[in-house]
Structure 1
Amino acid sequence: MREYSIRQAVEADIDEARAVMLDAVYRDFGTGYVPHWHADIIDPVSFYVTPPRHALLVAVDEQDGTVAATAALDARGPAHPPNPGWLAERFPSGETAQLRRVYVRPGHRRRGLARRLVDGLLEFARADGGYRSVYLHTYPHSPGAMGLWQALGKVVCDEREEVPGGGSGAVHFEIPFA
């Protein structure tokens, strides 16, 4: 059985973390790199490593030292547009810890890595002391995502049902944060 360590990303992890994220947007989402949506993937240091209230965690495979999974957190709430206005009001920037880029390479899935990474991000957010809620959005076609987020949180908006025309198809979650 493989062993993994969960840690804050360091300089040596950045290229591999970026590769995990890019692989996910190409393979799992089929969108490929879209600059407007994925600038943080190209420059994770500026988005997640340098800002003191943000974090980028990685799961490192102890067998070969490679990055098997990523998860990030920042203080940006959902923007309106494209998200519904009431959602942006409910989860304002600065007070909201938004979970992002929770991606696991296919060969490392079903080993609890995403949950361990999310637990680490929630610990980080609690230690920060300035967050009052935890938010994320996902897409139903993302492998394993809906099951994970339904187990950890509650749906606050399913665009497929609540937004005229289905919006972007995103499902928005709040993770309990006490």
Structure 2
Amino acid sequence: MDITVRRARDEELDEVGEMTTAVYLDDGLLDFGAEDPYLHDLRDARRRAAESDVLVAVDSSGGTVLGALAFSAYGAPYAQQARPGEGEFRMLAVRPGARRRGVAEALVRACLDRARERGLQGIVISSHPRMTAAHRLYGRLGFVRAPERDWEPVPGIGIWAFTVAL
């Protein structure tokens, strides 16, 4: 399967929001399940697109959206952890049927390329401790755990930080 990564088109944003929400729910990544307040943010890809670069990985032959994420640089509304000179991506989601085909890797590599093009010195990401497959991918791409930057969006819900220097 050939994968193309590009900015999401307006007509894809609702699909991106629904896919991201379904992936996080189905994978058990929301500590409060269907009542999790983060669901609204996951579903609202239109707001993400207004405040960050929403990138999609699509099947080059059919244009099907296989995965998505939001990329921002320090100072942007969607950059929660980035410091000056850093980029950040969030809300990485890949359709279950498209996993283990390089979709997530293509999306992360696109973020690395964007950050380099913008002259950024690094990228920081936040990841739920249960996202073990993502952690393996991040490690292969040079990201390292940065426990000093771990944080809690809600008291008692710990999120891990990873960084990579560019």
State the TM-score bracket (shorter-chain normalisation). Answer: 0.7 to 0.9
TM superposition score normalised by structure 1: 0.73
Structural RMSD (CA):
2.8
Q: Give unpaired runs (5+ residues) of structure 1.
A: 79-90
Residue in structure 1 matched with residue 109 of structure 2 by the alignment? 119
SS across alignment from 2:100 = coil
Correspondence 1:29-48 to 2 at 5 A: 29-30=29-30, 31-32=33-34, 34-35=36-37, 37-47=38-48
TM superposition score normalised by structure 2: 0.77
The alignment-based identity, stated in percent, is: 26
User: Partners of 1:136 and 1:56 in 2: how far apart?
Assistant: 15
1:12 aligns with 2:11: yes
Change (3 A) 1:159 1:73: closer
Residue in structure 1 matched with residue 68 of structure 2 by the alignment? 70
Change (3 A) 1:126 1:32: farther
Correspondence 1:1-178 to 2 at 5 A: 2-28=1-27, 29-30=29-30, 31-32=33-34, 34-35=36-37, 37-47=38-48, 49-51=49-51, 54-75=52-73, 76-78=79-81, 91-92=82-83, 95-129=85-119, 131-142=120-131, 144-152=133-141, 153-157=143-147, 167-177=156-166
User: Which letter maps to 2:45?
Assistant: P
Q: Give unpaired runs (5+ residues) of structure 2.
A: 74-78
SS across alignment from 1:111 = coil
| Superposed structure 1 runs of 4+ greater than 4 Å apart | none
Radius of gyration: which is bigger? 1
